Amino acid sequence: MKTILCSLFFPISCATAADLWFSGGQEIEVTGEFLSADDIDVQSYRTSYSGSDGPWTIEAGIGHTRYQETYQPVLFGTNEKLNEETWQGDLSITREWSDEWSGTLTLSAYEGFADYRSIWISEYYRQLFGAFPAYEEADPKGRSIGAEATWNYLPGSGSANISLNYGRDQIAPGWSFNPAAGVPEAGAEWLNTVSVGATAEQAITPWLKTELALTGRHTTDRKTRVGIRNSWAATAGPVAFRLSGGYSEEPPSFDASYASAVIEWNFLPQWSAHIGYRAYQDSGEIQTSGFDALAPPVDSTELFGGILWDRGDLAVSAGVGLLSTDYEALSEDNEFFGNLYRDRDWLTFRFGISYQF
């Protein structure tokens, strides 16, 4: 930590001190993302560090997300201003066994709500059942461990990897009233998730490359969700193009598709700008009971752009976007959540600063 702070404020004079820890390259990066609508604001910050020494590379990061939203009930309850904070941390260690093979072990954890929807839903159940002694406040958190093996079958132009991850999450549960017992009862609170993935990246020509990714994920009390994603990147002089698309499905009735396109222009030696478009749609979360808070089908689009200044060791970027979400009408079973799943127009903003030494 002393070396990290030293490098942030005195990068040149600290080069010798840094070598005591890592003989290879090191990098510090700070990023921020902001998502804002008329009734919801999300601020997310992350600081990460990576350093290499011989065949070893260590990466560590810590993140903080702040949620501010207005809870507006549909039929009963009171309006509330909700404020929540979530902390995240992760650590990964990579070992290069040869020019062709490497392996990575990753640990991660978080404390707090995973998204703004969970906060809104948790407040709904608190207002509905909070007066009962059996009701307990939500305390979401999660831990995960993952491993990955990478094969550089054509070093510099072709690679493949497989990954395996296990996560255990304590979520904010749904509640229902048990008339026989006369008390509210919580739904599933702990979820175990096992996910696997396989990715292959190949350079077709010096100016064109592609990546194919396959994923599978199984969560407690649900069927396995599988997905496929294909990306292409091409360069033509100072202009680069990136296209990506994917599809996923989960029995018995969930499916989602998404696509993105980005054009990047390197208009000066240290300056580049980009503009892009993303689209996403799904068939709605799978209903597991007659009354629940799951989302209906949604279509979303985002038009975004940004700029990057990169002098080699120091890089600064910023971007802004306009995101639109369009939900289908809710059924009578979950119309209580109409103010959560309503159409919104969002403003997004992102920034990043990285320093290599």
Q: Where are the beta strands (DSSP E) in the chain?
A: 26-36, 40-53, 56-71, 80-96, 101-111, 141-154, 158-170, 175-178, 183-186, 190-205, 208-219, 225-236, 239-250, 254-268, 271-282, 298-310, 314-327, 344-356
Residue 287 confidence (pLDDT):
55
Q: Is residue 114 within 8 Å of residue 86, measured between CB atoms?
A: yes
Residue 16 confidence (pLDDT):
45
Only one residue has tokens 């294909």, namely 230
Residue 280 confidence (pLDDT):
98
Structure token digits, residue 153: 């079958």
Instruction: Record the pTM.
Output: 0.88
* Tens place of pLDDT per residue across the chain (357 aa): 434 334 443 344 444 444 546 788 999 999 999 999 999 999 999 999 999 999 999 999 999 999 999 999 988 889 999 999 999 999 999 999 999 999 999 999 999 999 999 999 999 999 999 999 999 999 999 999 999 999 999 988 999 999 999 999 999 888 888 888 888 988 888 999 999 999 999 999 999 999 999 999 999 988 999 999 999 999 999 999 999 999 999 999 899 999 999 999 999 999 999 999 999 999 988 654 434 578 899 999 999 999 999 999 999 999 999 999 999 988 777 788 889 999 999 999 999 999 999
Residues 192, 327, 274, 29, CA torsion sign:
negative
Residue 76 confidence (pLDDT):
81
Residue 278 confidence (pLDDT):
98
